[in-house]
Structures are given as structure tokens and as C-alpha cells.
């Protein structure tokens, strides 16, 4: 059953019935050429709505099976063999990627209480070192957490957040050492440097009370749903008692602390509905009180100042309004509208300070910041220097301040950190990431617009090196996401330079299902309108070809997770439109996954994809699910990447997808599967140099598919 096909590790998995008469595998140029592993077909069926469903590769779900492991190792060996000729190119690309990285660097320090907090990196070290100084930056450095020390005994290191107690002397942090995004809570005494006895598994969120001894935390159930909150007293040896449990499987639970430090919040939220509770941080043994009971399709979030709560709510419109309510009676009947709902402007976030608040908005697909002074009531939009850009959150821990901090970037502007002085109405650049070897004047970004089949205008962002010829022959990389209402912002990526400097343009399609154009943009690309996501992307590709940015023979597409679903769906619909496809941890087995409520995320995501136990929703999902719609036809070249320990998209989805495509496809184009079998997660390996090596592998494959000659880099770089 295990047949050696010229692969040196974990003999290639082969079904003899698929071999040709000369002993080779179908589609191979020569019987001397090693063929790809071919997964066995083991019928597994069920009946749904009177129809028989069969899944020949269901057996790949058995994570403990040596048979499964052997098959995945064979896929890796085949991929390694197919990519062996590009090893020098991969190494050159890796050195090039490292050359654009400022290896020894320091984040912008932020103040919290008596301390200034920051992290730094050191050349040759994989991970961040979290530090602080007391009072001023001239004070001695105190190392809070050096992830490189943890990495001496762990192959994967992921930190889920650092929370320091109000007095500054207790550090709670969550650590993942498997890649499965299951974090264990630790508490470190910063005076002694010693760890406390706490080793609490499956902790998803943490918040301190005022007394510096009481810690609230939320744990996950077996499906990785954060569902139960506990109160813990430092040093206690007694079992913690639950204080709240979220029983509705559509909802997840989060604990947090207000910036004012006066309140603790418990948020229960689904994809469409939310419910908040509050407790004074000075009375940690008290009970959380309800703000507004959940109502289907009513989402709201809460912040605090003085005697009032400030609430973003969509009860009067999908794009949200801003209201406030007295802390003493915060129910919805007391909500006073401060900013009414607008169809043109979506309110996406709120930060409340002692003297002002900051609203995060989206208008015309562009993010904005609007500052309102509590004393005068005046409101000002923060001016930003480019027409197309991305904003990202920065630490704003101080409640009493005259400024707030935000991050900014664009396709040509590296990540930048600003302070905005509310009184002077001026922004001040604190730091722009240094990107060695980058000259912004050599590159250009534009905002484009495609038209979907239903007439909807779909924005695109594109960046290229100046001098690019618009003759229809230039290579182009098109990316997209289009799910969960998550925007795909036009942010700077140093790694993108390996494409731009070789004459490859890079474009982002801001398709429906994302949130760039407001809440309705998301609504029009989810549930029974999900196919709009795919047709928007296809329209974007057709537009780029029609406008002579590229041609189908030099167009590569790339997407990950739900963006990997996008890759699979559009490849089924228009395989002729793309030269090659990269699918990262792709969600491609939609029907089978959504039929299994024991898997992480499934039940909660019924409100994003639909519930296939309902016939109408089942048939709609079935109409686009990439795994179910594979057919006997020609497909573009494809590289599929996943991790054995991925917690978000199980490894078997891409493995099954590749196995079935390999059986059905009629072309001779390469189809490669690479499985991270070492500890790795949804984002791959955890070390920054390890990630660059993975990126170099992926980039080498794409550049070769685009016909960009592999020129050895002359830039000296690290060999870590």
C-alpha cells in the first residue's frame, strides 16, 4: 500500500489503481520522474436532505493515525523534491527579506502608571524582549519577559498578551507553546522575578481588579469557544469558582478593563449580537450587572468616563450610532444619542479619555479618526497625508492625557506611530519603521475601481515600482480576503519589495464580505450572498487584465484562511483566469466543517456562512464550497500551505482538497501541498526568521510561476 515513488522520506502514498501501465503516475512526463503521492479513497457517506453525500478522504481527519502522518510526510517530500531546484533562489530571497528588516530595533515606549513600557528585538534572535523603565527613559531597564529564553526549551512561542496590575508589580501573561492558540496563564512577581503557582490552561482573556490581587479570566471549552469566567485570588490554592457562563454556543465571552480603570466588563458576543455586563473594579467580589439584554442583530460596545457609559450601538442602523447612559441606570431606555447613524459613515471603534473621545470611522472605504472635546463639544477630523492608507491601534493606557497615539501606514509608507495633541490639533511623528534598502520615491500606489456583475463598484489598491509598463504583459499578484467584515487595508509590507523590485505589481481587491465600505459591505458578502465575494474578486482580476495591468498568463492570486476559501472558489469558477494560486491555511471544506459542531468556530460561524442543517443554507453553501465543487478540468498551478496544529482551519481541509483535486484535474500544472509538521499554527512558525524562511519558499514559487528569472541576490544578510 505504501509505494516508493522516488521519494526518500515517508514513502509516497500511492493507490496502485491510479498508476499507468509503465509504472508511472498519470500526467508525468516520464516513468523515471517521481510522481506525486496519491491518497487512497476510502468511502465515507452520510445522507442529508434525502441525498447521499460521500467523502472519500474523510480518513485524513484522524490526527493520531500513522497512516495519515505518512501521507502528509509524503506530500512534504514531494513538494521538497519539486522545489529542490529553487533552493539557491529561496536562500537569496531569504537574505533579501532579512536585508529589509531592522533586526535590532525598539518600539515606541508608552506610559502606564509609573512606568514606560516597550519591546525590543536583537539581531539574530527570533523573538521580542518585553521591557520597561520606571519614570523616565534614562532609568535602568527591567526585562519583563524575554521570549527568546522560553524558546530555548520550546519550539513554538506565542504570547497572548501582557497585563500588569495597577500597582505595577504583578504581570499576567498567556503563553502558547504548540501553535494551537491554546494559552496557559502565568503570573510573575516583578519585584522578585519569580513565577507564581498559577498555571491555568485554556485562558482566552484576563483583567485585573483594583486590589492588585484579584484576577478575572475567561477559559475555552473543547471547541475553543471562550465561555466561562472565573475570579482568582493570587496565591490561592483553592479551586476557582465560575462567576459567569455563556451557554449559547453562538456566543463567545471576553473580560476587559476600562481605560478609566474604574470598571471591569464582561462581553458576550456572536457575529451579529452582543451583551455587556459591568462591575466596579474596587469591588471585585461583587456581581456583574447587565447593561442591555441581548436582542438578535443588536451589536453594541461600551466604554466609560465619570458617571456615564459611552456606547456604540447599531440598534438604529447597521453603521452604528454613538450614545451615552448614566452608570446608575445604563439600560437602553436611558441611552442618549450623541452621534446619529449614517448610511455613509460607519463608526467602527471608540476610545474614551478624561477630556475627549476618539471615534474610528470608515467613509468611502477609507478609515478616519474624529476627536471630540468634552469641554467644548467641538469635533475635529485628524488630517492624514495620503488618500489611501491604513490605521492601526497603538497603546493608549493613560486616561488623563492631552494626546492619543495611533499608527499609520500605506502601500508606500512604512508603519508610523503618531501622537495627536488634542488641544493644539497637531499630529507628531514619533517613529517610522526603518526599512533598510527602501526608497519610497521609487514606488507608486493608486486606487482603482472594478465593476461587479451586478453593477457594484469594487475598490482596488495597487502598488508598483515606477516605470512599470502598462502593456498587458506585466506580472501581477492579486490578493483578497472578503469575510467577517474584516477590512483588507492597504498597508506597507517590507516583504512585498521582492515582488516590486522584480517588476511585479501587487493589488488588493476590497471585495464584499469585508468591511471596507461599511457594515452593508459585509452583509452583501455573507450568508446567502456569499457568492458576491467571489464574483467581486473575479471582476477585479478581469478589470486588471482589461486595463492592461497584466494578463491571465502572468497573474498569480494569493489568500489565506477565509481568503483561502476565496482562492478555492474563484479557481473553481474561473480556472482560466489565473496562472497560479497560493492558498494559505485555506477554509475549503466548508460543508463538512460546518456540519460538525464539535470543531472550533463552527457553531459561532453559522451567522457568517450559514447552518448546513438548514436545507436552504446547505444548498447555498454547497454551491460554492471549493472541495465539493472540484471537477475534472484543467486548473492553474497551485501551492497549498497548512499547519498540522492549526486551530482555526484543521489541516485535513487543505489535505483533502489537494487529494481530490489531484485525482480530478486534467492538466499537468504543479499542485503542491506543504504541511508544517513541527509546532506551528494558523500563521505558521512563530520565530521571525523562521517566518521569513517560510515566506521565501512561498515567494520563490510564485516568482517562478510568474516567469521572473531567479537572480541570485547580492545583498548580504543573516543566515539565522
Task: Tell me, letter by letter, the H, E, C secondary structure of 121-164.
Answer: ECCCCCCCEEEEEECCCCCCEEEEEEHHHHCCCCCCCEEEEEEE
pLDDT for 579 equals 98
Residue 194 lies in a domain: yes
Task: Report d(CA 144, CA 129) in Å as an integer.
Answer: 8
Phi-psi region of 696 (alpha: psi -120 to 50; beta: other; left: phi over 0): alpha
Same domain for 161 and 149: no
Residues 568-586: b if buried by 16+ CB within 10 A, e if exposed: bbbbbbbbebbbbbbbbbb
Residue 137 lies in a domain: yes
Please state, in angstroms and as integers, the Cα–Cα distance from residue 460 to each residue in 46, 260, 434, 484, following that order: 42, 39, 27, 19
pLDDT average, residue stretch 612-622: 98
Phi-psi region of 123 (alpha: psi -120 to 50; beta: other; left: phi over 0): beta
Residues 67-84: b if buried by 16+ CB within 10 A, e if exposed: ebbbbbbbbbbbbbbbbe
Is the pLDDT at 538 greater than 60, yes or no? yes
pLDDT average, residue stretch 260-270: 98
Residue 298 falls in the annotated catalytic set: no
Judged by DSSP in three states, 563 sits in helix
Residue 560 lies in a domain: no
Query: 646, 686, 699, 713: which is the annotated catalytic residue?
Result: 646
710 band by pLDDT with thresholds 50, 70 and 90: low
Is the pLDDT at 7 greater than 60, yes or no? no
Is the pLDDT at 3 greater than 70, yes or no? no
Report the percent of the chain where pLDDT is more than 90: 92
Total structural domains in the chain? 3
Helix 562-573 vs helix 531-546: angle between axes, to the nearest 10 degrees? Answer: 70
Residue 269 falls in the annotated catalytic set: no
Residues 292-327: b if buried by 16+ CB within 10 A, e if exposed: bebeeebbbbbbbbeebbbbbbbbeeebbbbbbbeb
pTM (two decimals):
0.93
Q: Of 102, 135, 153, which one is at a domain's C-terminal end?
A: 153
pLDDT for 8 equals 28
Residue 79 lies in a domain: no
pLDDT average, residue stretch 635-649: 97
16-61 pLDDT tens trace: 223 232 222 222 333 334 689 999 999 998 999 999 999 999 999 9
Same domain for 162 and 149: no
Same domain for 286 and 188: yes
At 189, which CATH number? 2.130.10.120
Residue 410 falls in the annotated catalytic set: no
235 band by pLDDT with thresholds 50, 70 and 90: confident
Task: Report d(CA 546, CA 253) in Å as an integer.
Answer: 47
pLDDT for 569 equals 98
Same domain for 237 and 123: no
709 band by pLDDT with thresholds 50, 70 and 90: low
pLDDT for 656 equals 98
Q: Of 278, 298, 318, which one is at a domain's C-terminal end?
A: 298
Query: 86, 274, 403, 561: which is the annotated catalytic residue?
Result: 561
535 band by pLDDT with thresholds 50, 70 and 90: very high
φ, ψ dihedrals at 380, nearest 5°: -135, 135
Is the pLDDT at 210 greater than 70, yes or no? yes
Integer Rg of the chain from CA: 26
Any bridge partners for residue 184, and if so which? 175
Query: 186, 232, 271, 682: which is the annotated catalytic residue?
Result: 682
Question: How many other CB atoms are there within 10 angstroms of residue 45's CB atom?
Answer: 10
Residues 686-710: b if buried by 16+ CB within 10 A, e if exposed: bbbbbbbbbbbbbbbbbbbbbebeb
Report the percent of the chain where pLDDT is more than 70: 94
Same domain for 221 and 263: yes
pLDDT for 34 equals 67
Structural domain that includes position 497: 439-550
Strands (DSSP E) contained in 377-517 are 379-381, 390-393, 403-409, 416-421, 426-432, 443-451, 457-465, 476-480, 505-509
Same domain for 263 and 223: yes
Euclidean distance between the first and the last CA atom of the chain, given in angstroms as a whole number: 40
pLDDT average, residue stretch 414-438: 97
φ, ψ dihedrals at 546, nearest 5°: -60, -35
At 539, which CATH number? 3.40.50.1820
Same domain for 216 and 125: no
Residue 123 lies in a domain: yes
pLDDT average, residue stretch 297-314: 98
Residue 126 lies in a domain: yes
Residue 347 lies in a domain: no
The grid cell for 244 is: 459567569
Residue 60 lies in a domain: no
Q: Of 264, 281, 298, which one is at a domain's C-terminal end?
A: 298
Please state, in angstroms and as integers, the Cα–Cα distance from residue 688 to each residue in 148, 157, 169, following that order: 11, 11, 29
pLDDT for 236 equals 86
Amino acid at each position: 500500500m505504501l509505494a516508493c515513488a522516488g521519494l526518500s522520506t515517508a514513502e509516497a502514498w500511492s493507490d496502485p489503481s491510479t498508476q499507468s501501465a509503465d509504472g508511472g503516475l498519470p500526467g508525468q512526463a516520464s516513468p523515471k520522474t517521481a510522481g506525486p503521492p496519491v491518497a487512497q479513497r476510502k468511502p465515507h457517506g452520510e445522507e442529508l436532505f434525502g441525498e447521499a453525500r460521500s467523502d472519500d478522504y474523510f480518513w485524513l481527519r484522524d490526527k493520531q493515525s500513522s497512516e495519515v502522518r505518512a501521507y502528509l510526510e509524503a506530500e512534504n517530500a514531494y513538494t521538497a523534491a519539486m522545489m529542490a531546484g529553487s533552493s539557491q533562489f529561496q536562500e537569496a530571497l531569504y537574505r533579501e527579506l532579512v536585508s529589509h528588516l531592522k533586526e535590532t530595533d525598539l518600539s515606541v515606549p508608552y506610559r502606564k502608571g509609573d512606568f514606560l513600557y516597550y519591546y525590543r528585538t536583537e539581531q539574530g534572535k527570533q523573538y521580542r524582549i518585553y521591557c520597561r523603565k520606571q519614570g523616565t527613559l534614562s532609568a535602568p531597564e527591567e526585562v519583563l519577559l524575554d521570549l527568546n529564553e522560553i524558546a530555548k526549551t520550546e519550539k513554538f512561542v506565542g504570547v497572548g498578551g501582557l497585563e500588569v496590575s495597577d500597582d505595577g508589580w504583578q504581570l499576567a501573561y498567556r503563553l502558547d507553546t504548540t501553535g494551537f492558540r491554546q494559552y496557559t496563564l502565568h503570573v510573575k512577581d516583578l519585584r522578585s522575578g519569580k513565577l507564581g503557582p498559577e498555571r491555568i490552561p485554556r485562558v482566552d482573556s484576563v483583567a485585573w481588579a483594583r486590589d492588585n490581587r484579584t484576577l478575572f479570566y475567561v477559559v475555552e471549552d473543547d471547541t475553543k469557544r471562550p465561555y466561562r469566567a472565573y475570579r482568582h485570588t493570587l496565591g490561592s490554592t483553592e479551586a476557582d469558582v465560575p462567576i459567569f457562563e455563556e451557554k449559547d454556543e453562538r456566543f463567545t465571552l471576553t473580560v476587559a478593563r476600562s481605560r478609566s480603570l474604574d470598571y471591569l466588563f464582561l462581553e458576550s458576543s456572536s457575529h451579529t449580537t452582543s451583551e455587556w455586563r459591568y462591575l466596579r473594579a474596587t469591588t471585585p467580589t461583587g456581581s456583574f450587572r447587565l447593561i442591555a439584554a441581548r436582542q438578535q442583530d443588536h451589536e453594541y460596545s461600551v466604554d466609560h468616563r465619570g458617571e456615564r457609559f459611552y456606547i456604540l450601538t447599531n440598534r438604529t442602523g447597521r453603521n452604528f450610532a454613538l450614545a451615552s447612559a448614566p452608570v446608575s441606570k445604563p439600560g437602553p431606555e436611558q441611552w442618549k444619542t450623541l452621534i446619529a447613524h449614517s448610511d455613509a459613515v460607519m463608526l467602527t471603534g471608540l476610545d474614551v479619555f478624561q477630556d475627549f473621545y476618539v471615534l474610528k470611522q470608515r467613509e468611502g472605504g477609507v478609515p478616519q479618526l474624529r476627536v471630540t472635546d468634552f469641554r467644548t463639544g467641538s469635533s475635529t477630523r485628524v488630517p492624514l497625508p495620503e488618500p489611501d492608507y491604513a490605521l492601526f491601534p497603538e497603546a493608549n493606557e493613560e486616561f488623563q492625557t492631552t494626546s492619543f497615539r495611533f499608527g499609520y501606514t500605506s502601500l508606500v509608507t512604512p508603519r508610523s506611530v503618531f501622537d495627536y495633541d488634542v488641544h493644539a490639533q497637531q499630529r507628531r511623528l514619533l517613529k517610522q519603521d526603518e526599512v533598510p534598502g527602501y526608497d519610497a520615491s521609487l514606488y507608486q500606489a493608486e486606487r482603482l475601481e472594478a465593476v461587479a456583475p451586478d453593477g457594484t463598484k469594487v475598490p482596488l489598491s495597487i502598488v508598483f515600482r515606477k516605470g512599470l509598463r502598462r502593456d498587458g504583459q506585466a506580472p501581477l499578484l492579486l490578493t483578497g480576503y472578503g469575510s467577517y467584515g474584516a477590512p483588507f487595508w492597504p498597508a506597507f509590507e517590507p516583504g512585498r519589495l521582492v515582488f516590486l523590485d522584480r517588476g511585479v505589481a501587487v493589488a488588493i481587491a476590497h471585495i464584499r464580505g469585508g468591511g471596507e465600505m461599511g457594515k452593508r459591505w459585509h452583509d452583501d458578502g455573507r450568508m446567502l450572498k456569499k457568492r458576491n465575494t467571489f464574483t467581486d474578486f473575479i471582476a477585479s482580476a478581469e478589470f486588471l487584465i482589461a486595463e492592461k495591468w497584466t494578463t491571465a498568463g502572468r497573474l498569480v492570486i494569493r489568500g489565506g484562511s477565509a481568503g483561502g476559501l476565496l482562492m478555492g472558489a474563484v479557481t473553481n469558477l474561473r480556472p482560466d483566469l489565473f496562472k497560479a494560486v497560493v492558498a494559505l491555511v485555506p477554509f475549503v471544506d466548508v460543508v463538512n466543517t460546518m456540519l460538525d459542531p464539535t470543531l472550533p468556530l463552527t457553531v459561532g460561524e453559522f451567522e457568517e456562512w450559514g447552518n448546513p442543517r438548514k436545507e436552504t443554507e446547505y444548498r447555498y453553501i454547497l454551491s460554492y464550497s471549493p472541495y465539493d465543487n472540484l471537477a475534472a478540468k484543467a486548473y492553474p498551478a497551485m501551492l497549498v500551505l497548512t499547519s498540522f496544529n492549526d486551530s482555526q482551519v484543521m489541516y485535513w481541509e487543505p489535505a483533502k482538497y489537494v487529494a481530490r483535486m489531484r485525482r480530478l484535474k486534467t492538466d499537468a500544472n504543479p499542485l503542491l501541498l506543504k504541511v508544517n509538521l513541527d509546532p506551528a499554527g494558523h500563521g505558521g512558525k512563530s520565530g521571525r526568521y523562521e517566518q521569513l524562511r517560510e515566506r521565501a519558499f512561498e515567494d520563490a514559487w510564485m516568482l517562478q510561476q510568474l516567469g521572473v528569472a531567479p537572480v541570485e541576490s547580492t545583498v548580504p544578510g543573516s543566515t539565522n
